[in-house]
Structure 1
């Protein structure tokens, strides 16, 4: 996830300080990916260094306000128009854990699969409930939250299906055909 581009996108609306950016990001994404406030300010410092935002000074309450620059606007527009690259997919900790577990002695990969399936099914239930609750509120502004929840639901469903496949492959290893 690009925190850099997300903060630039939020600054298109109006200048903000770090905590406002954090709250806006979490509100607009349904709090699915909480941001550490330190990460927000570190990213803002880098954006300022790179000439994509400028520090407008402090407001009356001591908050440092950041504004997007023309270069920052060009950067975020480019981000929105470019597809997300699939060339270098993010690391999947679960896939790495299972791959390594299969190659090491003393690792119960079946137990890893079962434990993960339980966690994934609970998460799927939570996402589905959150989606149902959001739909019940009938607010147009919730469309962004619904998109994020749908993405999480689909990803989690795919993970559960993949875990089923992993378990089937383990059974094939344990019972090779004659």
Structure 2
């Protein structure tokens, strides 16, 4: 997902000013993707240049607000109707780390796996606590946290598999 599409989604609900977009973006993503306010204004500027948003004057407190254009709505609709391709996701740094540990030849693979297992378990516990406190915050936060929990659980299962393969190799 790009910041651009996230901001367009928020603007589809009505005019917003930059700081408001930043807060709503972070809230909607369960605070898992913090934004710098400069990123928000740079993205808005580019979207204005591309005809996706336009300045909408100022609110009652004098803050410049932006509105989504028809072209912006079209871009948002295209984004929502396009599935996320596996190749569009960032690389899996943990898989690469283990592959490089194997390539290095002298790394303690079991220790690498155990270190990651402990870190993933702590993250899973933190996410579970966050989900309990965010339950009343809204559906968007819950779904983001659920996704993160499922990914952490899947990582734990993959680490179990790695351990089994390492044991098999060493026997």
Q: 1:101 to 1:39 in 2, by over 3 A?
A: farther
Aligned residues between the structures: 171
Alignment partners' CA distance in 2, 1:113 and 1:9: 39
What SS is found at the alignment partner of 1:55? Answer: strand
Deviations 1:77-136 (A, max 9, x none): 12122222234442111111111121113333322221211111111111112222334x
The CA RMSD over aligned residues, in Å, is 2.1
Q: TM-score, normalised by structure 1?
A: 0.84
Name the counterpart of 1:50. 50
Among 150, 171, 174, the alignment partner of 2:170 is: 174
Name the counterpart of 2:159. 163
Give the gaps of 5 or more residues in structure 1: none
> 1:14-29, aligned counterparts within 5 Å?
14-29=14-29
Deviations 1:115-163 (A, max 9, x none): 211111111111112222334x4xxx62222111111111110011111
Name the counterpart of 1:118. 118
Alignment partners' CA distance in 2, 1:16 and 1:132: 29
Q: TM-score, normalised by structure 2?
A: 0.87
Alignment partners' CA distance in 2, 1:45 and 1:166: 46
